[in-house]
Amino acid sequence: MRRVIGMDIHRTFGEVVIWEEGRLRNAGRVDMTRTALEGFGKGLRSTDEVVIEATGNCMAVSRVLSPFVARVVIANPLQVKAIAHAHVKTDKIDAGTLASLHAAGYLPEIWTPDAATERMRRLAARRFQIVRHRTRIKNEVHSILHAHLIPRCPHADLFSGVGRAWLLRQPLPQDERGAIERHIRELDRLADDLAALDKEIAADALDDDAIARLLTITGVNLTVAAGIVAAIGDINRFSSPQKLVSYFGLNPRIRQSGLGAAHHGRISKVGRSHARSMLVEAAWAAAKTPGPLHAFFVRIRAKRGHQVAAVALARKLTVLCWHLLTKQTDYRWARPALVANKRRTMELKAGKPQKKGNKPGAAHAYNVKALRDQEMDIARHAEQAYEQFVAQWETRPKVRGRSKPAGL
């Protein structure tokens, strides 16, 4: 006999409702501790299915209850709210709604990552938080200088060695000087934490073929590649590149009513915000380097401006990532010396020993100016070929239903 156990979980407890033979009955509360959950799981049947919503502790609850039941299902809370909107909302009603929707086959379920993917997601999220914290602290230092009419630092980086020396020479009140010193100490501490996280991420990425393929894309470094792969998980769960674009929230909102034309607005921003930020960061880097991606950025910038062009290039990178991962191939216009340098940088971050001797490695080619220039020339030719291809396409007679060129 099939039973569905709906749980509305909170930080300290979970409300339990059981669906059985089309009826709901309340089963009380269970504490959100490992011991209490294991005791609750032992009282369930091996054929039961447990349904919970995606929250901060849902993965831990799933891991504890999975050995005792047939399956633990994690639901998308936003879609559940859209399907089962109710004027009366209690924990019992929410738990019963989860159980009823799953029993009827209407529950919007999310994909559950494996342990390695979940670990990489946590590392990427922590690194993202540290970077944001560093940015806030740097902005506070700049605001102090601005408040006291201190001119812009003549050096490229205010927080480098020469930049800090210049900062100490500025006429500031003693309390403001003390605040800047505290901010700088905090930046140094965060730099150590960031280096430790980068080492863990690099060590996990050394043997990851998916990350190695994404590193062949111009503008994509280790942090971006690891963050994207962690967000995607299994690429086979996305049947098309448009599905992946929507998952990252880079698809435009579309509004249409009646016979009127469809209106395409801003991007939805519904999805993995960390990965979306990393893709935009990679887009800005790719836009500064010769190649087809740069040509695409310039073409969109001429029509819509810098910001829209960067987001459009981030979407293009998402489509490119989908093709590389599904087809298990490298980027066609990859620069071998640059890719080898990225690989060597990843090895050094992971703690690999320095290479000794006079025999240069593959990454050594990036340090040879002649080889770098040769690769840049090839990238410029690819950029010109893309521009010519797009120009020819735009001058052709328009045919309804014909798709736009990818060209990358």
**Domain final residue pick, 48, 83, 104:** 104
Each residue's pLDDT tens digit, 147-182? 999 999 999 999 999 999 999 999 999 999 999 999
Question: Which pTM value belongs to this model?
Answer: 0.84
70 burial level (CB within 10 Å; 0-12, 13-18, 19+) = middle
Looking at the domain assignment, is residue 259 inside a domain?
A: no
Q: Is residue 41 located within the same domain as residue 171?
A: no
Q: Is residue 274 located within the same domain as residue 362?
A: yes
The pLDDT of residue 86 is 65
Q: Is residue 237 located within the same domain as residue 329?
A: yes
**Domain final residue pick, 48, 79, 104:** 104
Cβ-based neighbour number of residue 49 at 10 Å: 20
Q: Is residue 94 located within the same domain as residue 224?
A: no
What is the mean predicted confidence (pLDDT) over 118-137? 94
The pLDDT of residue 153 is 92
Alpha-carbon distance of 318 to 315, in angstroms, equals 5
What is the 3-class SS of 99-168, one letter each residue? HHHHHHCCCCECCCCCHHHHHHHHHHHHHHHHHHHHHHHHHHHHHHHHHCCCCCCCCCCCCCHHHHHHHH
Looking at the domain assignment, is residue 403 inside a domain?
A: no
What is the mean predicted confidence (pLDDT) over 109-114? 88
* Helix, strand and coil percent figures for the chain, each rounded to 5: 60, 10, 30
Query: What is the extent of the structural domain holding 322?
Result: 209-254+265-395
Looking at the domain assignment, is residue 404 inside a domain?
A: no
Q: Is residue 74 located within the same domain as residue 121?
A: no
Lowest average pLDDT, out of 234-243, 329-338, 351-360, goes to: 351-360
- Identify whether the C-beta of residue 22 lies closer than 8 Å to the C-beta of residue 37: no
pLDDT of 194 > 60? The answer is: yes
Q: Is residue 219 located within the same domain as residue 167?
A: no
Looking at the domain assignment, is residue 110 inside a domain?
A: no
Distances (CA, A) of 17 to 8, 9, 14, 91: 9, 11, 10, 9
Q: Is residue 269 located within the same domain as residue 375?
A: yes
Q: Is residue 133 located within the same domain as residue 196?
A: yes
The first and second tokens of residue 347, run together, are: 């090895």
Looking at the domain assignment, is residue 248 inside a domain?
A: yes
The first and second tokens of residue 324, run together, are: 């590389």
Looking at the domain assignment, is residue 269 inside a domain?
A: yes
**Domain final residue pick, 62, 81, 104:** 104
Looking at the domain assignment, is residue 237 inside a domain?
A: yes
Task: Label residue 361 by pLDDT band (50, 70, 90).
Answer: low
Q: Is residue 310 located within the same domain as residue 182?
A: no
SS3 call for 55: coil
Q: Is residue 284 located within the same domain as residue 228?
A: yes
Q: Where are the beta strands (DSSP E) in 221-261?
A: 252-255
Q: Is residue 83 located within the same domain as residue 131?
A: no
- Identify whether the C-beta of residue 202 lies closer than 8 Å to the C-beta of residue 222: yes
- Identify whether the C-beta of residue 347 lies closer than 8 Å to the C-beta of residue 202: yes
Domain containing residue 52: CATH number: 3.30.420.40
Task: Label residue 396 by pLDDT band (50, 70, 90).
Answer: confident
Q: Is residue 183 located within the same domain as residue 304?
A: no
Looking at the domain assignment, is residue 400 inside a domain?
A: no
Alpha-carbon distance of 337 to 339, in angstroms, equals 5
Each residue's pLDDT tens digit, 232-278? 999 999 999 999 999 999 988 777 666 666 666 788 888 788 889 99
Q: What angle do CA 256, 239, 107 make, to 5 degrees?
A: 70
Number of domains in the chain: 3
395 burial level (CB within 10 Å; 0-12, 13-18, 19+) = exposed
What is the mean predicted confidence (pLDDT) over 60-84? 88
The pLDDT of residue 388 is 87
